[in-house]
Amino acid sequence: MCKVTESQIAADGQVAGNALDQIANAAKAEDPILATNLEAAASTLETATANWHTGTPLTDVETAETAVLAILNVIPETAPYSTFVAIAFTALEALIANMATQSTQTGDELPDAVTLRKAMLALPESHWHGMVHIHRWPGEGPRTALSRRWNDQVEKQPDLGFKKL
């Protein structure tokens, strides 16, 4: 793992925003208000991550991520696209934990991964928590792991109309 950089945060926000927009699109027919709220939260997340600068507090990014998690929490597990919600939820938890643990990370992959996992487990409980495990390969960050897991699911459920990240 590497320390958080401006470009990493912006890229994380862009990928997460893309995933959230796809979930919002899938939710539009059943719940247009939820879809609108999710789109707005995704946009706020993308803006917060794009505007973050190295050395400044992550408060705006963390607030935006927390707002997205709250919206995802109202989506029922029975939604046809629930696997994608679970993946996005887990990815956002990983991104939050990755930023929160930067000051304690050593650059040694295994201890840093354990630190990240502990931080994820300490996040507030949700019905989405732990439903999907995003396994990271050596040298792979949370964003790459999210994209790989998401893209695998797109191939398994092409009828839902989701696109690869």
**Phi/psi-derived region of residue 32, left when phi > 0, alpha when psi is between -120 and 50, beta in every other case:** alpha
> What's the confidence (pLDDT) of residue 1?
47
As given in the structure block, the two tokens for residue 11 are 């890229």
> What's the confidence (pLDDT) of residue 95?
77
Q: Are 45 and 9 in contact (CB under 8 A)?
A: no
Report CA 134 to chain centroid distance, whole Å: 11
Digitized pLDDT (tens) for each residue of the chain, 165 residues in all: 456 678 888 888 898 899 999 999 999 999 999 999 999 999 999 999 899 887 777 888 889 988 998 999 999 999 999 999 999 888 887 777 777 777 776 777 666 667 667 766 666 677 666 666 666 656 666 778 788 889 999 999 999 999 999
Residue type, 123: L
Residue type, 36: T
Q: Where are the alpha helices (DSSP H) in 28-102?
A: 32-51, 59-72, 82-100
> What's the confidence (pLDDT) of residue 2?
55
